[in-house]
Amino acid sequence: MKKKLVVLCLAAVLAVSAFLFIQNRYDNQNDLLLANVEALADGEYFTFNGQEWNKDYHLYNEIGEHWCPQIEECQISVSVSIGYVLGVSYSETINGQRVQCVTGTGNCFDGTGCIRL
């Protein structure tokens, strides 16, 4: 009985640690995303996840049409499983943003993945 209690307590500590790790992992990016939204409001240039984006005309814009960077909402699914035997798992869906290439001029080639707000 004592072994089961120790294993259960250990599993609970691991689950809480995993939850706190997931919550704190993306907190540093909130200020960066806020700065990016403000930059979008100011003009045709903005920085997203350390990359500078613009809507200026470039020579390669004559090939194809999806060059214009645009920020859009997205969702990230995060899950942590402590193990099948213990049956402890945690999952969460987090709101985020990404840069998507849409019709127009600019320097958008592939866009970006989803980043937490």
> What local confidence, expressed as pLDDT, does residue 111 receive?
87
Distance CA 104, CA 101 (A): 9
Please report the DSSP string for 66-80 in residue order: B-EEEEEEEEEEEEE
> What local confidence, expressed as pLDDT, does residue 116 receive?
83
> What local confidence, expressed as pLDDT, does residue 36 receive?
63
pTM of the full structure:
0.54
- CA nearest 107: which of 39, 40, 36, 59? 59
- CA nearest 104: which of 59, 69, 52, 53? 69
> What local confidence, expressed as pLDDT, does residue 92 receive?
86
Distance CA 27, CA 97 (A): 14
Going from the first residue of the chain to its last (117 residues), give the mean pLDDT of each consecutive group of 10, the final group possibly shorter.
Answer: 77 73 64 62 75 86 87 87 73 90 87 85
Give the end-to-end CA distance of the chain in Å, rounded to a whole number. 44
> What local confidence, expressed as pLDDT, does residue 32 receive?
63
Return the residue matching tokens 């090939």.
63
